[in-house]
Structure 1
Amino acid sequence: MKKYAFLIFSLLLGLVSLNGYAFTEKGVITGKVVEEVGGLPIPSAVIAVYETGSEHPLVTTATDENGIFKFNALKYGTYKVKVSFVGFASLTVNEVILTEKDFERNLGTLKLGSDQNNLSEVTITAEKPVIEFSADQITYNVDKSILAEGSTATDILKNVPMVQVDIDGNASISGKRATRIFIDGKPSDYMTSNIADLLNVLPSDAIEKIEVMTNPPARYSGDGEGIINIVMKKGFAIGFNGNAGITAGLQGNTNMNSNASYRSKNYSLSGGAAYRSNIGRSSSHSYRENFDLVKDTTFYYDNYSNSKSNSNGGNFRAALDWDISPQQNFRVNTNFNTNSSSSRAGTDFNFLSEELDLRRVRNQLSTGDGTSHNFVFNADYSLKATESGEKLTLGLTFNNNDNDNLRLLDQHYTLPVTAKPSLRENTTGIGNNGLTINLDYDRPVFKKRDQLEAGIMYSYRKNNNDMLVRDFDFDAQQYVVAEKLTNEFLYNEGILAGYASYNYRGKGIGVKTGLRAELTDVNFDLSTGSSYHINPYLSLFPTISVNHFFKKRYNIGATYSVRINRPRENTLNPQINDNDTLNVSYGNPDLIPAYTHQMDISFGAFGEKWSFTPRLSYSTSNGVIERYRAVSVVNGVAKSETTFYNVGSNNIFGLFLIGNYRPNKKLSANANLTLTQSSYTSTLNSALNRKGLSVRSAVGLSMQLPLKTAFEANVNYANNVNAQGRAKGSVSSAMAARKMFLKNRLSTRISLSDPFGKRNYTLFSEGSNFRLQSFSESNTSNVTISLNYRFTKIKKVPTPPKAD
């Protein structure tokens, strides 16, 4: 670990030393102009830049065939940009500020309204909000959030609307049982055996934005009921730029990261490194009421636990984006993560009689050490026809992951003391390898008004889970292999997919429809000789979305899609985990895929200072895969076994209310509320026939204050129902303040996490012969201080000639 710390420290020193470069006061303004209805690029639109207070343009240019424009070599200051084209209402972007910190301003996509009878001018502001809403997705702009600075992807996701993060760091979309995490449009669960490890070390300064898609289009895999896509930064202005930062907290957590990029006319290079160290502490209490239906008696388990964990991780990234020619582009990027962890947990198991008398006390100490490494390589080559606009892209993704874990379980009794102690050693090695090849084709049709997309993909995954369990023989004073628990699980999956979609753009209306087909072949076996081969099955995933824009401030949309939740190695693996012998868990190799039909109706209203986007959703699933707990009582001992089942069907109604208010450029507030009503119907167990309401809400506020200071805060709440009960999380909150120095190159931030108390989690679960209540508390209350330095060396380019 000292080696990694020294490497990061050296990199930080090297990057900060770039302060010696001569900074030039030259800025860049870029953007793209499209039609408001249909989103078609507008070539030859006139773009003019004005200095503040001037009525005469400083410089003008025209958009290229793709609607893209760019101004180079602008002095730092405040400008306005005016966009004009015959037959469209003009548009002015006010207060485009260029500084040494924000020397390049990308105005994004500027939409011109086509209105022959009313050529009035539309005025907007260039500053992006933290959260943007559209008919089919939510976008969280990471670089606009103070809370995101000096953090990781896991921390950011906790603040994204419609996203919830559990105590283990797993992110999901509210109201969805299966959520896929993508990075730059590619699934991350193929990149690592533990997504939480990847997100917990991925630095926020390397992330541009996070997209939440509840009904993904046909281009994306049919897995999961929604997708969270993390879009990484690709570099900025022509020249050299980047940042280096460090964060430290009172709980003992530290985070160091650096990012750098160089862009020339034809290529860009970017890279980064990050190191994170975290200390976690938690306590829990569970109380289970057990019913012995044979003897018609009741007894209780009352358990208390305390744990401490240490984790360290590093992330290293490198990328190349090369325009070989105006028609050819080649992109390649690599990502390497390494993690190590150690944990220690002590638990007291109290066994109570029907009269609540203490009959037995078992003390358990569990210690664990683990390491993981994962490497990902992505390459994409694209070929584009200049005249027709058609584009062909060939992509390849390769990943290799390794996880090794060692856990020791020491159990002894203080009551009665005559019971024999036990000592168990559990060694687990997990290897995960994958290869994905995709070919995508895009073509504008009907005078480039509409868009045709098609593609094929093949992915292959191989997972090897090798578990060795040994029990200590106190008489022989040596470890002996536990044959019934030791096993090796081998999993192989191949998916061949093809898709086609069509995007129609009419006046005020857009329709996108598509069909994806996936042929899946899965086989897995155990070292015990058991072998499983699931017959190859074909799945069809139709998608359709309709959006109507009217009066230039409203839109209404409807979507329909079919999704699949495939059982994979974590749910199929029958290896028994009995670290707690009274609460055993294992997978179920007999699971079958679950299909979900989901529909959304959304409405959006957008004003100059506000937006409001309510959404209604309905989904119905058959063969829902969920955890199921059963308790069996033998000789007065109640043993809980948890596995996965296709528990039955589930219908979910959802209401999503999302709003944003920006009274001025210095103040922004947002809020969202999610209500989902679930209705389970099961033939597995009548106890699963239940209904329940899940609630998630969040409120956020950001302010730009005098003296180059800013403040941001948010509050979140979640309460979710499941097949056997309810998981209730307490209110979580965070706030941060930032101050800029050295001409906005250096920023300092102080943040508070859960300042009003530790985060609590409560779980209620019940079956035919038990009732369980679990309470846990973790050390999320923390104060952190961050320093971040940005450096820039812009390449000089000729000043464009002024217009006559």
Structure 2
Amino acid sequence: MKNYFILFVLSVISIASIAQDRSQGRRGYDMSNFNGVVTGKVVDSLDRTPVEYATVALYRQKDSSLVTGSLTDESGKFIIEKLKPGRYYAEIKFIGYETRRIGGIAITPRSPNINLETCSILAANENIEAVVVTGEKKMLLHNLDKKVFNVDKDVSVEGGTAADVLENIPSIEVDTDGNVSLRGSSNVNILIDGRPSMLTSMDELPAQMIERVEVITNPSAKYDPDGNTGIINIVIKKRKEPGYNGMVSFNAGSGDKYSAIASMNWRQEKVNLFASYSFRKGEMNRYSLGNRVTFFENTTDSSFLDQNSTGQAKMMFHNIRGGFDFFLDNKTTLSFTGNLNFRSFDMGTDLFSNSYNNFNSDFLQNNRITNNGYDGLGHEYSLNFKRKYDIAGKEWTADVFFSRRNNDFLSDISEEEIFNSITSPDVFERATNDDWMNAFTAQTDYVAPIGNGGRLETGVKAFIRKSDADYVYNVFNTSGNIWEYDATRSNHFIYTEQIFSAYGIYSNTFADGKFSYQLGLRVEDQLAKSELKNTNTVADTNRLNFFPTAHIRWEPSNAHSFQLSYSRRVNRPYSRVLNPFLNTSDKYNWSQGNPYLEPEFTSSIDLSYNLNLRKTKVTASVYYRDTRNGFSRNMKVLTQDDLNAMGFDTLGYFPTLSTFINLSHYENWGSEFVLTQNIAKWWRINASYSYYYSKLYGDVVSGADEGSSWNVKLASYFTIGKNVDLQVRGNYRAPSVTVGGSGRGFHMIGGAQGETKEMFWFDLGARIYVLKRKGTITVNVRDIFDTRKLKYSSWDTNFYSYNENWRDSRMIFVGFSYRINNYKMRQTKNNEMDDSFDIIE
């Protein structure tokens, strides 16, 4: 009995103590200041990459009522704050992925902070029970403000360049000279790793060095507003896996074309080192023909000019890239990247011209032989600092970037002229151009969660650029056997620009996470100065501009989403079209810049819809752009009165003069449609259709003030067994009239004075995996039917011209690549896996 009594007393004391502790616990916590927090990171279950802009909604366990929510940041992290004690569950949603529910979330006074750590979500068309290993990325992803194109999936670009990669992406077009346009306009800002690059051509960058391409038609305020139609950001490969991994690749093509790439990455504890080297060598034959008819005022008299040319270019590129990431701790990283680029061109061109008229028997023949030599050196350096914090989604970065480009150009010209069977003495000329450009960027950005599930991004940036081009023209004096300086055709032009900017962005969700939005504003102050040293002509500009942006997305279900976006952008004239020097080096085609050319400003609205089913992916969009002060090339045939006013005597021929002018404004409407369809386990297709319409206002010639165009791209992928992929790709581009035409500078075609003609071509590619899939053999045939020619016409009240340009386009490439320690196998569903244009919003 005594023992039972002692046990009873101890039980009472224990119960009382527990009750007292709980009572004191309740009294000890100030619930008015209580702040429960749930954090975590959302990643793709297949490749473990962060999922940005996924919605994380928190519900009460007892009645499933929505409490609050948050958006993931670019690293996939999220934070939900100001939670009261209780039991909750979370739902993670992102279009194209299965909704994931996470239960058992208990917020208590003793455990106010819950870290869900890494939360993986499964793509809607994947089967978690499948055991076949492929480990492939999706080819096309959609985020709130950009589309991401993974290059690894495109068989047809193996052995090619960045130009080949871009022309296979919906909405992007690349002409035969490598000029890039987006949604029918060449006014697009092309970046390398998020920064302007010293690359002078997309042909300098091998396709195998590219990891992905981001297409941003309505960029947020975080990005520079340059480029009326948006931004194309090319992201270079850089691995961070532990240990050593690398890749070597060799390619050979018809026409003496060769390329090689070697890259490596080494990660050990706090240091990650990476380096790559690429080499390209090739020859390219170029051809052109053209004719022009000039009409004389108030008469039936006309003059005619027929021209054709052949040329061969020899090209050599070397690119060395390297750097390191130093992880100061698990939240702080310091990175350095350097890039060195050597490039050389040698090109010889024979141009034959015949000039005649219908009112006398005069006949002028001209043969101009030009041998150009070009050597360039570019180097870029970036230093980057990144700091993450214990609060998920909070991040601070600081970046410094410097680049310099040097170009040395030499052109030797010999000219033979026959007028009415009388041969003139040969003329020998030499042009040299020594130019350089420096660019410096410093910026800092800060991201932090704010309020109830919101996110705030802000930053400041300084950009300083200076270019110097010294163009010297000499004529050979045969009697004195010396080269004489020609001041009338030489010029020295200097351009400096400073842009200081700041931006702010706020993003959040509402309505149970079905709606997400982003609002931003960027402010820029531009200071620019152009100076023609020969004539001491100086033009100064000082502009303060505001660039608002807005994005909103509605996801009624996992299969459907709608998005509406707006941005204001700018296209600033670059130095070449600002230089007021009159260039008469080509006697039949003169050019002169306009130092008072104003930037053009564009307001853009984009509405898109995305459908994501198991075997079918569809994205459709419509857009509208209104551009003020739109500038375009203006070309006219000079009359004798014009020549007299410019100080020229009778030449015996009438050259064209090209310059740039501002139109009052122009409008663009357009639509896009992209389809990805799995037809069978071994066959899938990607198809895209783009339509755009342009209406021009201002100094526009009749018949070129409006027009429409469209293009179609179709790719068909076949899987044969486990180790063979085949790809057939076709492109068709309809005739078009656009304000800027295509091309750059004075080489623009079409525009407000004409149109480009239709163009089409087909490519074929095959990829074979060998050596346990560590090695790859590729075979590609470009432009199978040799149909890729650029045709265009221009006209005004007193002339009409037609031209065709083409180069070697039917080519065969054979390549081999080998991967070292970097091929990761993951579980996913075989054959049903869509590795083409997987559309995820």
430, 449, 455: which is aligned to 1:444?
Answer: 449
Distance 1:460 1:357, change over 3 A: same
- Please give the secondary structure, in 2, of the residue aligned with 1:147: helix
658, 669, 672: which is aligned to 2:688?
Answer: 672
> 5 Å matches for 1:453-492?
453-492=457-496
591, 595, 602: which is aligned to 2:601?
Answer: 595
How many Å separate the matches in 1 of 2:47 and 2:423? 78
Q: CA deviation at 1:418?
A: 3.8
Q: CA deviation at 1:66?
A: 7.2
Distance 1:67 1:285, change over 3 A: closer
Question: 1:206 aligned to 2:204?
Answer: no
Q: CA deviation at 1:663?
A: 3.7
337, 341, 349: which is aligned to 1:337?
Answer: 341
170, 175, 184: which is aligned to 2:184?
Answer: 175
Question: 1:733 aligned to 2:720?
Answer: no
How many Å separate the matches in 1 of 2:141 and 2:191? 19
Distance 1:305 1:33, change over 3 A: closer
Distance 1:362 1:791, change over 3 A: same
Q: Give the paired residue count.
A: 707
Q: Which has the higher contact order (CA 8 A, sep 6+)?
A: 2
164, 169, 174: which is aligned to 2:173?
Answer: 164
How many Å separate the matches in 2 of 1:649 and 1:33? 42
Return the index of the structure with the highest Cα Rg: 2
Q: Report if the CA contact (8 A) 2:436-2:469 is conserved.
A: yes
Distance 1:288 1:785, change over 3 A: same
> 5 Å matches for 1:226-265?
226-265=230-269
> 5 Å matches for 1:621-632?
621-632=627-638
More displaced stretch, 616-625 vs 32-41: 32-41
Question: 1:431 aligned to 2:448?
Answer: no
Question: 1:582 aligned to 2:588?
Answer: yes
> 5 Å matches for 1:542-553?
542-553=548-559
522, 532, 535: which is aligned to 2:538?
Answer: 532
Q: Report if the CA contact (8 A) 1:32-1:109 is conserved.
A: no
Counterpart AA for 1:148: V
661, 686, 702: which is aligned to 2:717?
Answer: 702
How many Å separate the matches in 2 of 1:463 and 1:121? 48
Equivalence for 1:378: 382
Distance 1:284 1:123, change over 3 A: closer
Equivalence for 1:50: none
Equivalence for 2:509: 505
- Please give the secondary structure, in 2, of the residue aligned with 1:128: coil
Equivalence for 1:38: 55
Q: CA deviation at 1:384?
A: 2.0
Q: Report if the CA contact (8 A) 2:701-2:795 is conserved.
A: no
Distance 1:545 1:67, change over 3 A: closer
Distance 1:291 1:429, change over 3 A: same
558, 572, 575: which is aligned to 1:566?
Answer: 572
Q: Report if the CA contact (8 A) 1:135-1:556 is conserved.
A: no
Question: 1:224 aligned to 2:233?
Answer: no
The structure that is strand-richer by fraction is: 1
**CA deviation string 1:2-34 (max 9, x = no partner):** xxxxxxxxxxxxxxxxxxxxxxxxxx9752676
Question: 1:717 aligned to 2:717?
Answer: no
Equivalence for 1:101: none
Q: Report if the CA contact (8 A) 1:33-1:110 is conserved.
A: no
Counterpart AA for 1:112: T
Distance 1:66 1:526, change over 3 A: closer
Distance 1:358 1:734, change over 3 A: farther
**CA deviation string 1:255-278 (max 9, x = no partner):** 111111112343321111000012
- Please give the secondary structure, in 2, of the residue aligned with 1:257: strand
Q: Report if the CA contact (8 A) 1:258-1:273 is conserved.
A: yes
More displaced stretch, 33-42 vs 456-465: 33-42
Equivalence for 2:4: none
**CA deviation string 1:278-302 (max 9, x = no partner):** 2111211101010121655111111
How many Å separate the matches in 1 of 2:467 and 2:123? 59
How many Å separate the matches in 2 of 1:707 and 1:127? 13
Distance 1:41 1:319, change over 3 A: farther
**CA deviation string 1:754-803 (max 9, x = no partner):** 111142110111011110100122111011110111112899xxxxxxxx
**CA deviation string 1:170-206 (max 9, x = no partner):** 2221233410111222222xx34x2x1xx32222222
Segments of structure 1 that go 5 or more residues without pairing to the other structure are 1-27, 43-62, 70-84, 92-107, 796-804
Give TM-score scaled by structure 2 length. 0.79
Equivalence for 1:745: 774
**CA deviation string 1:460-516 (max 9, x = no partner):** 001000000011122222211111111110110000000001111222011111000
- Please give the secondary structure, in 2, of the residue aligned with 1:570: helix
**CA deviation string 1:124-160 (max 9, x = no partner):** 2674343334564332111112123332212211211
How many Å separate the matches in 2 of 1:773 and 1:400? 39
Counterpart AA for 2:627: S
274, 280, 287: which is aligned to 1:276?
Answer: 280
Give TM-score scaled by structure 1 length. 0.83
Distance 1:433 1:670, change over 3 A: same
- Please give the secondary structure, in 2, of the residue aligned with 1:150: coil
Distance 1:265 1:145, change over 3 A: farther
Q: CA deviation at 1:355?
A: 6.8
The Cα RMSD (Å) is 2.9
